[in-house]
Amino acid sequence: MDTKRILFISGSIGLGHAIRDIAMASEIRRQIPTVELVWLAAPPANAVLEEAGEKLLSEAAMLADDTAAAEDAADNGFKLNLLKYLSHAIGAWKKNVNAFRDIMNRHTFDLIIADEAYEISMAIGKGFVKTNAHFIMIYDFFGNVSMSWSPVERLINYLWNREWAKTKRYKSRQGFSAMFIGEPEDIPDRKLGFLLPNAREVAQDYCEFVGYVLPFTPAEYADQLQIKAELGYGRKPLIVCSIGGTAVGGELLQLCIRTYPIIREKIPNVHMVLVCGPRLNPKSLEVPEGIEMRGYVPALYKYLAASDLSIVQGGGTTTTELTALRRPFLYFPLEGHFEQQVHIAERLNRHRAGIKMNFRDTTPASLAETLIANIGKKVNYVSIPVNGAEKAAQIITGLL
């Protein structure tokens, strides 16, 4: 039997995509042990993949840093307008398409998987780049949403949504398919814009839905006290504060630091862990005694499972993990970030998971009040499908 060779492109911003991609890759190998996977990814995802023992193509060094583009686009404060990010990312995307075209000329694959590598997907869908294998695009949201009344933003947003409306045409191209990480209800049941089709209907026609992808089995982390003991925290109340794979959320960690003394007055033995991720230097923050500082944590879900309450950005990966773990959490969507403010927030509301917070309106006193009222609280989240890695791998191996 010939060894099948897969190129896995782990795209987009931060670490969430790389974490789920590794979970899918593990399941692919379980189903086809002889498969060979090679990777393309930019920082910081490339470091996560290498740490996991994955093999990156040498051409990965040619990719532009999308996360840096997002950080450059971030306004002062807790903000990231994705359309502003797109304006910063155009040059990076051109560079990535050129790198991918070069790879297609040098290498042969049996399958190409791209997790939110939008520039690659559009280049192939529009016929700008020819591939030598079946191409699968992975999404976890569908359609843009304007976050202001700016006519320029709304026009650009409309033009982008016209592109979203055209994606189902890509499926008619030979060797092109798509998967969605999540459920159809995660996509707003409304039009993409004036004279444009319904977003959910387009996605259902275009994508196969696989549920949510996790790098762990939630049942194995149901015993919170056991996980706490394994991490060395005993029975003391534990608060975990995390900003994900970019430095954009540094302001949130500052808010948590200012909130800690207020919480400690009410809960004297409380312990707080600040997870800065790979892009924010922990030494850049001054913290009082009782706060533990960490940089990048490879298996953050263990800390989330041990927590009595977590404070996080509104990112898709971390909030999905907390929902599956059934731990109480407060989440702060980045201002201007339509995916976090709309798509993810609506999904969490449907799952009755987490408490949405507004960063601009939150003071240390109000954060402390909400935190104290919810720490250790029993939750009633909706059960979610977490076998996405297995279902995705079945689709992928079926194409092989």
pLDDT given for residue 169 in this prediction: 80
Query: Is 379 part of any domain?
Result: no
Same domain, 123 and 224: no
pLDDT at 64 > cutoff 90: no
Q: 351 with 323: CB under 8 angstroms?
A: yes
SS3 state at 58: helix
Percent of the chain whose pLDDT exceeds 70:
96
Of 223, 339, 318, 342, give the one whose Cα is nearest residue 331. 318
Tens digit of pLDDT for each residue in 255-285? 999 999 999 999 999 999 999 988 888 888 8
Same domain, 370 and 392: no
Same domain, 363 and 232: yes
pLDDT given for residue 354 in this prediction: 97
The total domain count for the chain is 2
Tens digit of pLDDT for each residue in 145-168? 988 888 888 998 899 899 999 887
Same domain, 160 and 11: yes
pLDDT given for residue 294 in this prediction: 92
Query: Is 380 part of any domain?
Result: no
Query: Is 381 part of any domain?
Result: no
pLDDT at 83 > cutoff 70: no
Same domain, 262 and 143: no
Tens digit of pLDDT for each residue in 87-116? 777 888 899 999 999 999 999 999 999 999
Angle made by CA atoms 117, 123, 124, in degrees to the nearest 5: 90
The mean pLDDT value for 136-144 works out to 94
pLDDT at 19 > cutoff 70: yes
Angstrom distance (rounded) from CA 331 to CA 354: 7
Same domain, 174 and 273: no
Same domain, 290 and 346: yes
Tens digit of pLDDT for each residue in 275-333? 998 888 888 888 888 899 998 898 999 999 999 999 999 999 999 999 999 999 999 99
pTM equals: 0.93
Q: 103 with 59: CB under 8 angstroms?
A: yes
Q: DSSP character for 220?
A: G
Same domain, 145 and 54: yes
Confidence of residue 82 (pLDDT cuts 50, 70, 90): low
pLDDT given for residue 90 in this prediction: 81
Query: Is 360 part of any domain?
Result: yes
Query: Is 369 part of any domain?
Result: yes
Same domain, 196 and 71: yes
Same domain, 331 and 188: no
**Regarding predicted confidence, which is higher, 246 or 298?**
298
Q: What is the CATH number of the domain that holds 45?
A: 3.40.50.2000
Same domain, 263 and 299: yes
Q: Which residues is 242 bridged to in the sheet?
A: 275, 312
Angstrom distance (rounded) from CA 189 to CA 240: 34
pLDDT given for residue 98 in this prediction: 92
Query: Is 55 part of any domain?
Result: yes
Q: Which residues is 311 bridged to in the sheet?
A: 241, 330
Angstrom distance (rounded) from CA 43 to CA 373: 38
pLDDT at 1 > cutoff 60: no
The mean pLDDT value for 205-229 works out to 95
**Regarding predicted confidence, which is higher, 170 or 185?**
185
Query: Is 395 part of any domain?
Result: yes
Same domain, 139 and 283: no
Q: Measure CA of the first residue to CA of the last residue in the chain; give whole Å.
A: 12
pLDDT given for residue 346 in this prediction: 96
pLDDT at 38 > cutoff 80: yes
Confidence of residue 73 (pLDDT cuts 50, 70, 90): low
Query: Is 169 part of any domain?
Result: yes
Q: Which residues contact 308 (CB under 8 A, 6 or more apart)?
A: 224, 237, 238, 239, 327, 328, 375, 376
Domain span at residue 10 reads 5-212+386-399
